[in-house]
Amino acid sequence: MDAEELIESVIRALMFIAGVLGNNWLAIRSMPTTKAAVRTNEILFINLALSNLITNYLVDLPDTMADFAGTWFLGETYCGVFRFSADLSETSSIFTTFFISIFWHQKLVRSLKRGGSPVLMDSLRLVGLLLAGSWTVALVFSVPHFFFVKVEGANESEADCVDYFPDAVAGQTYEIIYLTLANALPLAGIVTTSVQILVTLLRNHRRIRSHNTEPSKTQTRKRSDEKRNDMDANAPARPSSEVQGSGVQMDQAGQQVILSGPPQRAVTVKSSSNIQVRAAKSVVAVATVFLVCWLTHLLLRITSNIHTSSLVVEVASYIAASYTCIIPYIFLYGVKKLSCSCINNT
């Protein structure tokens, strides 16, 4: 193994370690504490982590071992498992990322407009059906790779596991259908949803800034506060229960709102909105990484169908591996679960 191949193998090994740690951490931190506390985002994160771990353990690990060995040494039987697992986990991961982007877009919009009321994808039954459908689609597209593979090479020291369709037209037809339904369409959905999230965040930021910079409203609010204080000073004392049952809080636009209920409720709503905004920003970050990785991956796979090249296939596999080892950390940061709870409690 020359220096260039050694560097490539070491990079692949580091990506494998980062992916295993990140996706296991995402799955562990997303585990619900009780059955009654199961939430949609936890189910989606666990499913995404499991999808990526299939890639980490059944694709990246043997591929890394083959890189260090300099040849495919696991036989043709595992070659079928290798190709099957690659497309199964890839398809499931793409669809799960799409569902996560839709979920956080709904939560963000509802949080900013209606104070965090339930959304459509809060339904665990709906999410379960969507995930079951995505795994079914992934399974259908992955099964052919279990049979139409071979280990090719001029000699045993240069053997490699590749897809092999006896009919070239059938192989190209399959790739076109697969790349369209399981890659291009979810990719377009993720980009569209992320753009909507970004537009919503920008509009909300612009609305808050405009309210904070209007002097007339500020002066009016100050005069209103002064008048209310004078009235409270001259008014007879109220029962303690009545005082505790009211409060003044700030709404999403930065304006004061007099609450008829406990002030803790407004604080909870505001905190929930902040969580939705932070999580939505993480979705945009993931979508950016997703777009760069999978758009390049998609183009490389199309190129490999036109002109078969082992280098193109290798680059495409590296790009797919980079995606699975980056996004778990972005999501963990977005939902404030990147740190260990045991550390926070000490």
* Sequential DSSP letters for 95-115: HHHHHHHHHHHHHHHHHHHHS
- Identity of the highest mean pLDDT range in 4-8, 201-205, 273-277: 201-205
**pLDDT value for 338:** 66
How large is the average pLDDT for residues 65-84?
86
Tell me if 239 is assigned to some domain: no
Tell me if 292 is assigned to some domain: yes
Report whether pLDDT(270) > 60: no
**pLDDT value for 133:** 95
The encoded tokens of residue 71 equal: 């040849």
Tell me if 80 is assigned to some domain: yes
**pLDDT value for 301:** 65
Report whether pLDDT(88) > 60: yes
Tell me if 224 is assigned to some domain: no
**pLDDT value for 155:** 62
The encoded tokens of residue 132 equal: 């079951």
**pLDDT value for 304:** 62
**Which amino acid is present at 59?**
V
Q: What does each C-alpha distance from 59 to 35, 65, 237, 289, 332 come to in angstroms?
A: 32, 10, 72, 21, 23
Confidence of residue 152 (pLDDT cuts 50, 70, 90): confident
pLDDT digits (tens, 9 = 90+) for 177-209: 988 888 888 888 988 888 888 888 888 778 777
Burial state string for 44-78 with b = 16 or more CB within 10 A and e = fewer than 16: bbbbbbbbbbbbbbbbbbbbbbbbeeeebebeeeb
**pLDDT value for 150:** 84
Q: Report the candidate in 97, 100, 102, 105 with the shortest Cα–Cα distance to residue 183.
A: 97
Question: How far apart are the C-alpha atoms of 308 and 310, rounded to whole Å?
Answer: 7
**pLDDT value for 322:** 78
Tell me if 166 is assigned to some domain: yes
Report whether pLDDT(257) > 90: no
**pLDDT value for 223:** 60
pLDDT higher at 236 or 76: 76
The encoded tokens of residue 122 equal: 């809060």
How large is the average pLDDT for residues 127-134?
95
Report whether pLDDT(285) > 50: yes
Q: Report the candidate in 137, 140, 125 with the shortest Cα–Cα distance to residue 92.
A: 137
Rounded (5°) CA angle 310-315-317: 95
Tell me if 229 is assigned to some domain: no
Question: How far apart are the C-alpha atoms of 1 and 34, rounded to whole Å?
Answer: 51
Q: What does each C-alpha distance from 339 to 25, 283, 329, 335, 336 come to in angstroms?
A: 10, 19, 10, 10, 7
Compute φ and ψ for 2, nearest 5 degrees: -80, 175
Domain range spanning residue 81? Answer: 3-212+244-344
Tell me if 264 is assigned to some domain: yes
pLDDT higher at 159 or 23: 23
CATH number for the domain spanning 147: value is 1.20.1070.10
Tell me if 7 is assigned to some domain: yes
> Is the separation of the CB atoms in 58 and 82 below 8 Å?
yes
- Is the pTM for the entire model greater than 0.85? no
**Sequence-ordered alpha helix ranges (H) in the chain:** 3-29, 40-55, 61-69, 75-114, 124-147, 168-179, 185-212, 215-234, 240-244, 263-306, 310-334, 341-344
Confidence of residue 27 (pLDDT cuts 50, 70, 90): very high
Q: Report the candidate in 27, 124, 110 with the shortest Cα–Cα distance to residue 279.
A: 110
How large is the average pLDDT for residues 230-242?
51
Question: How far apart are the C-alpha atoms of 273 and 279, rounded to whole Å?
Answer: 10
pLDDT higher at 14 or 315: 14
Based on the structure, what is the number of domains in the chain? 1
Report whether pLDDT(117) > 60: yes
Report whether pLDDT(247) > 50: no
Question: How far apart are the C-alpha atoms of 82 and 57, rounded to whole Å?
Answer: 10
Question: How far apart are the C-alpha atoms of 196 and 285, rounded to whole Å?
Answer: 13
> Is the separation of the CB atoms in 1 and 8 below 8 Å?
no
Largest separation between any pair of C-alpha atoms in the chain = 97
